[in-house]
Amino acid sequence: MSVQAGGELYLRSMTVADIDEVMAIETAAFASPWSRQFFLEELQATHAKSVLCQRDGKPIGYVIYWELPGELDIHNVAVHPRFRRQGVARAMLADIIERATSRGFRRMTLEVRKSNDPAQTLYRSLGFEVCGLRKGYYSDNGEDAWVMERKLAPSRNEPLQN
């Protein structure tokens, strides 16, 4: 998969060769980053998918998600802090929404920290709505997470995913 987005951003699937740069983004973006081993395991899982965003050939953000029966579950959205508020996360998520819709998935879900207002604003602007709460979801500080979902209209050209 590769998509040209916004003239400057290039989207493609993540590979093992990207792990060092992905880890640099992960550690810059999060106080409690996921481990290198976690990313390696995700890249090997058949249900795990990814979008890596590059600008000028350099990775600046990524999304890890799972394709489950009838839905996509977004596990991690990260953009290097130097590239935030430039449409990077929006471009990656819009790409996933478009592909999910064309493939007949019925919904997308994600969890977001209750304190992360900028991410919640982005997700709402993309059609996600709060549908639940996970108490103590984040292991680093016990913060609650909102569960958000976006319902997808199936494409007329593709069968529904089960």
Q: Is 10 a catalytic residue?
A: no
Task: Given the residues 10, 62, 65, 123, select the one marked as catalytic.
Answer: 123
For residues 107 and 129, the answer to whether their CB atoms sit within 8 Å is no
- Beta-bridged to residue 111, according to DSSP, are 147
Compute the distance between CA of residue 144 and CA of residue 112 in angstroms, rounded to an integer. 8
Task: Given the residues 111, 137, 138, 143, select the one marked as catalytic.
Answer: 111
Nearest residue to 95 (alpha-carbon basis) of 156, 154, 12, 155: 12
3-state secondary structure of 147: strand
Q: Is 71 a catalytic residue?
A: no
Q: Which residues are catalytically annotated?
A: 111, 123
